[in-house]
């Protein structure tokens, strides 16, 4: 079911928070063309329409090829600034006021980038975004399960030494068939040092990976986690501990984890009273955006304006913000919704 024009307009305009999006998977065709030209990387097409078609998800091997080609275009600090600035503009266009973006620094280190310089450059662009566009961005460098564990050391070290460069958390991504156990210590150190933990789990594999994320990684949020609904004890545990799931509907359909949006467990997740947010994951690759994902979910679950607005405020609650930052944004969100006729105690939206 699709939403009506009025609700669609409301979703487009309302202030939002995005908690699960990969910087490298958010690069849009014009930016990639510009970057590839700068770095003399050959792309399979020379125009925006051709690149858009190439970026779009086909299968997992193609997805990896796209990801690695994008990474090959990112050589110097100014390349990272270019894609981050374009990303921030896109977030601003959607009125996404706060974003936490995954970022695979270890791939870029393996490609020979200077990680310290990249951190400095990224911090500059984040500050510009905050000042000029009024949008906030925080980083979640990901440890990748299925690559050489020494790269996890690099990721943790980068995260810890650049906490004052807007790094909010450490993440875990990659193939879930590779256990999280080798990274237990990395997550323990991250926690002891005050970094948050956001772990991809329960996407490609079953509930056991979510238990692992909780028990071995001290996960505070689960990336995807949709398979958690297969285990009632896990559902109880997630609800009891108020651990949110970062749900990415179109990504799940594209990767064939669910046959269609109608079969997506988002309805069960909501009915079970689990905390969750809606996100775009790799918006350029899945040809989507946070706005689009919210529209799809609102249509599927037949949500009204008030219920859609509550998705934004819930995501804000789940964000890795300081209490001061959260209060400021919460105040701004409340004022916006009130102006739109959604006062805190009006009966319906």
| Residues assigned a catalytic role | 203
Q: How far is the CB of 173 from Zn ion (least distance, A)?
A: 6
Burial grade of 32 (CB within 10 A; 0-12, 13-18, 19 or more): buried
C-alpha to C-alpha distance for 66 and 54, rounded to whole angstroms: 8
Nearer to Zn ion among residue 77 and residue 244 (C-beta): 244
C-alpha to C-alpha distance for 286 and 262, rounded to whole angstroms: 18
Q: How far is the CB of 202 from Zn ion (least distance, A)?
A: 12
Q: How far is the CB of 138 from Zn ion (least distance, A)?
A: 16
- Overall size of the chain counted in residues: 349
β-sheet bridge partners, residue 15? none
Binding site for Zn ion (CB under 5 A): 281
Nearer to Zn ion among residue 281 and residue 295 (C-beta): 281
Six token digits for residue 229: 């609904």
Nearer to Zn ion among residue 204 and residue 310 (C-beta): 204
User: Which residue's Cβ has the minimum distance to Zn ion?
Assistant: 281
Report whether 212 contacts 245 (CB < 8 A). Answer: no
Report whether 222 contacts 244 (CB < 8 A). Answer: yes
Report whether 260 contacts 213 (CB < 8 A). Answer: no
Q: Which of 295, 302, 308 is nearest to 342 (CA)?
A: 308
Nearer to Zn ion among residue 207 and residue 223 (C-beta): 223
Q: How far is the CB of 80 from Zn ion (least distance, A)?
A: 19
């Amino acid at each position: 079911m699709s939403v009506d024009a009025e609700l669609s307009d409301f979703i487009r305009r309302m202030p939002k928070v995005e908690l699960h999006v990969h910087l490298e998977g958010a690069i849009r065709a014009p930016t990639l063309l510009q970057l590839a030209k700068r770095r003399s990387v050959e792309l399979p097409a020379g125009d925006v329409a051709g690149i858009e078609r190439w970026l779009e998800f086909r299968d997992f091997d193609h997805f990896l090829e796209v990801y690695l080609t994008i990474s090959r275009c990112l050589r110097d600090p100014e390349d990272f600034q270019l894609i981050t600035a374009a990303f921030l503009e896109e977030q601003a266009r959607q009125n996404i006021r706060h974003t936490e973006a995954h970022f695979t620094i270890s791939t870029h280190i393996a490609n020979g980038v200077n990680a310290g310089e990249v951190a400095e450059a990224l911090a500059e662009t984040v500050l510009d975004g905050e000042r000029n566009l009024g949008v906030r961005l925080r980083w979640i460098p990901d440890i990748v399960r299925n690559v050489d564990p020494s790269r996890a050391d690099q990721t943790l070290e980068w995260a810890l030494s650049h906490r004052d460069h807007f790094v909010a958390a450490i993440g875990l991504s990659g193939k879930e068939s590779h256990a999280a156990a080798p990274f237990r210590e990395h997550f323990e150190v991250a926690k002891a040092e005050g970094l948050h933990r956001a772990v991809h789990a329960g996407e490609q594999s079953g509930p056991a990976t979510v238990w692992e994320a909780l028990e071995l990684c001290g996960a505070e949020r689960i990336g995807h986690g949709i398979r958690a609904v297969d285990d009632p004890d896990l559902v109880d545990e997630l609800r009891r501990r108020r651990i949110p799931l970062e749900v990415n509907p179109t990504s799940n359909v594209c990767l064939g984890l669910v046959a269609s949006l109608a079969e997506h467990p988002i309805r069960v997740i909501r009915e079970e009273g689990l905390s969750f947010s809606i996100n775009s994951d790799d918006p350029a690759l899945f040809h989507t955006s946070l706005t689009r994902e919210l529209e799809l979910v609102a249509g599927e679950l037949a949500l009204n304006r008030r219920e859609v607005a509550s998705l934004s405020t819930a995501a804000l609650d789940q964000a890795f913000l300081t209490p001061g930052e959260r209060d400021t944004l919460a105040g701004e969100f409340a004022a916006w919704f009130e102006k739109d006729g959604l006062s805190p105690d009006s009966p319906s939206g």
